[in-house]
Structure 1
Amino acid sequence: MTTVSLIDVAGYLPGEPVPAAYYTEYPGAEDKLRDNPMFRIPPLRHHVAGESNADLVERAVQPLIERHGREEIRSVDVLLMHSQLPDIPFVGAGTEVARRLGLKPRWLLDVANAGCASFVQMIELARTILTTTDANTALICNSQSAAGQLFTQPDVRRLAQAAIPGDGCGVGYLTTSAAAPVLDVVTRHIGDYGGDMTAVLEDGRKYWEPGESQLRIGFSEEAIATVMERGNRLVPEVVTELCGRLGLPTSAIDTLVTNQPNRAFLSNWRQALGLPKERHPDTFDSCGNLFGAGIPITLDRAIRSGQVKGGDLVVLGGFAHAGDFAGAAAIRWSG
């Protein structure tokens, strides 16, 4: 079987850091959910200021172009794109990304599901395409732009949920080589949990219908408890299953990179997998919840800081929405 490697990652954060006071000092910023562990506020996050998903990808890819050359990136066979908040109806960002970067991929897919764990899903999709076709290279992109748009609406900004997200973009470059092999991937699509994450408009209209109410996520104490239970369970389960398939204990993981929903999840996942904090880098305090971009941006930071070294077993893991997707991928990093 052809070996596929994740040979590089890069990330981009828009604008200057936005402090927690932007939310906590906002008039009327009171919410009975504010003290819930799900919504413990990070000190900083970044917001888009007019940037589109394609803008974010274009900037995130620049380090890959600098390291590998413009022509190599332009020649990618597969382009996979996930936008947490699509810019316009009907049209994904993938074709615009291809136009901006001068790509002519044989495979171009906008991935709509898998949310916060979509980087893992796209690794699996890219690996499948690269091992079953004549394609040799893939670019996978995660763009998150909801924080500076959806969560800064005046009525939403006063809610506890608004202060958690941040914006950014992470990208990965995969090739058919043994440089930094993807050892295995485990994914679960859990239909029983489908539809449990909801968007709410107070006047009951559809989001495309005219009106004045502002779109928010439908959180309640009961819904939060359900998400916490599922998330605490699912990520350790898929990571443990992945390590079992490799014949390794979870203690063999040198670096675990997960999505970054809140501090409670991060702590609980480490404890469940028996890993010390230094093996589980996170960007929550400086970036907030980056949704799908959280895994590649955190991995990029861990690599650039020297936390990830050549030969390390790197495991990427996460879950999406209210638990309708979970996945983990193992990579033997090249350094």
Structure 2
Amino acid sequence: MKSLVRQGVVLTGTGSAVSETYLDNHQLNQMVVTSDDWIKTRTGISRRHLLPAQDSLTTMATEAAQKAIDMAGIEPQKLDLIILATSTPDDLFGSAGLIQARLGATQAVAFDLTAACSGFVFGLVTAAQFMRTGTYQNVLLIGAEVLSRWVDWSDRRTCILFGDGAGAVVLQASDHDCLLGFQLHTNGTQNQYLKLEFQGQEKLLVDNIRVGQGTYQPISMNGQEVYRFAIQKVPEVIEKALYRAGLEIEQVDWLLMHQANRRILDAVAERLGIPEQKIISNLANYGNTSAASIPLALDEAVRRGQIKANDVVALAGFGAGLSWGAAIVEWGSLNS
């Protein structure tokens, strides 16, 4: 058996993908009673990309993954593990395996991870545990969602928020470790505030044996409770992750949170004392893409040169579960 050795993790590649189709606030005004000004004022969102019916999450996620692999400069056959963070797979049994096949990552084990809007942060920490023990050397982490499948497009409380997208990162083993600290939490007693639940009807089979059959219902959310939860818990979890990293808030170069609502981003930054110019956000153009939101924004920031080598980035995810978590990472490569 291979001996397990302590090793570090570095992020060496990013990628993202969205559909060219988008729905802006003016178009939404034709569907529900709302307005561009009302949506922008309350959420900061101007438009959201939507995946056409004939396309799949698998195709979009594979595109984002290939871009991350190309940036990292490795061959898909060198991947040991693929984690797909998603709550909206094409196949309820999981979509990671099909992504593995399409990439030609023949040596990689692949599985889905479901933690909704915290999924990318939870996936990052999960991947790091496999790598720090020396079990795996090269890991692909994808966050991808097609939330448009599960939105009630007649409910203006939720239909204005959500979009579709995919983002990916490649992590590779190194003597250096760029996952500096993390903290994860769940409170299932608040699950009812944001959910996408199964609703079945009783079906008689035989001899008084009954099962439930049905489908999942559209997303339901108590916006006020989620906002209250986020502005209280997210600053706390970032501070705890910084403590584990041995860093002060002043040493953070960039704050990159789950892109849920601009008021949440601003409130958390204000509580932490982080200036606006350090907030990375693409919420206006994509809306809430759940597990995809952090890697999608990360990829854009890296590719435009905003995030540079050795920059310290505070990542934070929060949402359904209710779950929340933070990871403090240093952007870098094997050569930096």
TM-score, normalised by the number of residues in structure 1 = 0.85
| Contact map agreement 1:38 1:262 (CA 8 A) in 2 | no
Matched, 1:168 2:191: no
Amino acid in structure 2 at the alignment position of 1:2: Q
Amino acid in structure 2 at the alignment position of 1:183: L
Which secondary structure does the structure 2 equivalent of 1:271 belong to? Answer: helix
For residue 79 of structure 2, the aligned residue among 55, 76, 80 is 76
| Contact map agreement 1:4 1:174 (CA 8 A) in 2 | yes
- Aligned residues: CA RMSD: 2.7
Cα 1:37/1:227, change in 2 over 3 Å: farther
For residue 327 of structure 2, the aligned residue among 318, 326, 329 is 329
Cα 1:232/1:208, change in 2 over 3 Å: farther
1:67 shift after superposition: 2.9
TM-score, normalised by the number of residues in structure 2 = 0.85
1:17 shift after superposition: 3.2
| Contact map agreement 2:66 2:103 (CA 8 A) in 1 | no
Matches within 5 A, 1:285-304: 285-304=284-303
Matching residue of 2:46? 43
1:98-146, Cα deviation, whole Å (9 max, x unpaired)? 111111345322112x211211111111110112243111001111111
Matching residue of 1:258? 257
Matching residue of 1:5? 10
For residue 189 of structure 2, the aligned residue among 189, 192, 200 is 192
Tell me, in whole angstroms, the C-alpha distance in 2 between the residues paired with 1:294 and 1:84.
13
Cα 1:24/1:158, change in 2 over 3 Å: farther
Tell me, in whole angstroms, the C-alpha distance in 2 between the residues paired with 1:134 and 1:280.
35
**More deviation, 294-303/179-188:** 179-188
Runs (5+) with no aligned partner, structure 2:
1-5, 203-211
Which secondary structure does the structure 2 equivalent of 1:165 belong to? Answer: coil
**Percentage of identical aligned residues:** 23
Which secondary structure does the structure 2 equivalent of 1:42 belong to? Answer: coil
1:73 shift after superposition: 2.5
1:199 shift after superposition: 3.8
Amino acid in structure 2 at the alignment position of 1:56: M
Cα 1:82/1:142, change in 2 over 3 Å: same
1:15 shift after superposition: 1.5
Tell me, in whole angstroms, the C-alpha distance in 1 between the residues paired with 2:320 and 2:131.
28
Which secondary structure does the structure 1 equivalent of 2:167 belong to? Answer: strand
1:228 shift after superposition: 1.3
| Count of residue pairs brought into register by the alignment | 316
Cα 1:284/1:123, change in 2 over 3 Å: same
1:181 shift after superposition: 1.5
Poorly superposed stretches of 4+, deviation over 4 Å: 34-39, 203-208
Q: Per residue, is there more strand in 1 or in 2?
A: 2
| Contact map agreement 1:312 1:333 (CA 8 A) in 2 | yes
